[in-house]
């Protein structure tokens, strides 16, 4: 059974004590995640240790990094390498978020290197893709996203690609309050799966979790997650509010 995932992306938000309060508030709820369900917290790297401590003993809940460097070590001041994350128990790393593509000029080729670095330490890349508004308005979203996937992931073997989680995040829906309709999400998620099916075969494509991101909140999570090719969400703003993210976790199918 494909994994269903609620992933929080805190981005560059919260002080240490605010992070602590958020997790405390969140864990006032006892979550009952099924074997195929996961909750993941992509926190600022400086809070990985404290978040991991809070998650200790909690079933199917993991801390994640929001980015990593493509090299394993070296003179790259301020950067953090994938093996460093592995050494502190991080098993999931978000890659290619649209903010990193835009503000840090991360290219498809660079992201292919980062994907390799994460898979090399036996961790899960949460690979983000998604189109800007002008591409959506021109109706070219499928071609655009397909190119992102091909350029950064198609060098992987079938054994490797099933370890990757995809997060489809239309840029026009990130942090804007504008959510793709569940029909729009389903349509492009099904297309993404078909892209993998054409390269790796249907049974491999059926194993890949494809999350939707873009103004997911308590009010729309159930409807989005009920779509057959939407396997959960990558959540920014609403993951900073305990009651919202609790409801989003509970909306997993
Ligand atoms: C995100 O940061 O990946 C995201 C989808 O943000 P938001 O939920 O705030 O739109």
Pick the residue whose CA is nearest to atom 7 on ligand 1. Answer: 236
The enclosing domain of 113 has a CATH number of 3.20.20.70
The confidence score (pLDDT) of residue 179 equals 85
- Distance from the alpha carbon of residue 109 to the mean position of ligand 1, in angstroms: 24
| pLDDT tens-digit readout, 167-223 | 999 999 988 888 889 999 999 999 999 999 999 999 999 999 999 999 999 999 999
| pLDDT tens-digit readout, 62-109 | 999 999 999 999 999 999 999 999 999 999 999 999 999 999 999 999
Q: Is 131 a catalytic residue?
A: no
Q: Is the pLDDT of residue 1 over 90?
A: no
The confidence score (pLDDT) of residue 126 equals 98
> Is ligand 1 within 6 A of the CB of residue 236?
yes
> Is ligand 1 within 6 A of the CB of residue 235?
yes
Q: Cα separation of 63 and 92, whole Å?
A: 7
Asked if 140 and 99 count as a contact pair (C-beta separation under 8 A), the reply is: no
| Ligand 1, pocket-test mutation among 7, 13, 129, 174, most atoms within 8 A of CB | 174
Q: Is 183 a catalytic residue?
A: no
Neighbours of 116 (CB within 10 A): 16
Q: Cα separation of 148 and 112, whole Å?
A: 10
> For residue 128, which atom of ligand 1 is closest to its CA?
3
Query: Which residue out of 38, 92, 97, 106 is catalytically annotated?
Result: 97
Return left, alpha or beta for 215; rule: phi > 0 is left, psi -120 to 50 is alpha, else beta.
left
Query: Which residue out of 38, 99, 106, 169 is catalytically annotated?
Result: 169
pLDDT cut 90: percent of the chain above it:
95
Considering only CA atoms, which of 56, 49, 50, 46 is closest in space to residue 22? 50
| Ligand 1, pocket-test mutation among 218, 219, 237, most atoms within 8 A of CB | 237
Query: How many domains is the chain built from?
Result: 1
The boundaries of the domain holding residue 86 are 4-250
Asked if 221 and 244 count as a contact pair (C-beta separation under 8 A), the reply is: no
């Amino acid at each position: 059974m494909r994994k269903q995932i609620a992933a929080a992306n805190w981005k560059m938000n919260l002080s240490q004590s605010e992070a602590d309060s958020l997790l405390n508030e969140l864990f006032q709820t006892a979550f009952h995640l099924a074997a195929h369900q996961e909750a993941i917290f992509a926190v600022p790297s400086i809070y990985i240790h404290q978040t991991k401590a809070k998650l200790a003993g909690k079933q199917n809940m993991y801390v994640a990094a929001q980015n990593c460097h493509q090299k394993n070590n070296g003179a790259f001041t301020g950067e953090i390498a994938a093996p460093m994350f592995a050494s502190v128990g991080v098993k999931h790393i978000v890659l290619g978020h649209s903010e990193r593509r835009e503000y840090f000029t991360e290219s498809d080729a660079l992201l292919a290197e980062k994907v390799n670095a994460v898979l090399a330490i036996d961790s899960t890349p949460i690979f983000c893709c998604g189109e800007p508004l002008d591409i959506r308005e021109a109706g070219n979203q499928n071609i655009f996203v397909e190119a992102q996937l091909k350029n950064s992931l198609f060098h992987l073997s079938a054994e490797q690609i099933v370890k990757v989680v995809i997060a489809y995040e239309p840029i026009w829906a990130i942090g804007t309050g504008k959510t793709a309709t569940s029909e729009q999400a389903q349509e492009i998620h099904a297309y993404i799966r078909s892209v993998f099916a054409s390269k790796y075969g249907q049974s491999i494509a059926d194993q890949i979790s494809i999350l939707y991101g873009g103004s997911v909140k308590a009010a729309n999570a159930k409807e989005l997650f009920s779509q057959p090719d939407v396997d959960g969400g990558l959540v920014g703003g609403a993951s900073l509010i305990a009651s919202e993210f609790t409801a989003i976790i509970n909306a997993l199918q």
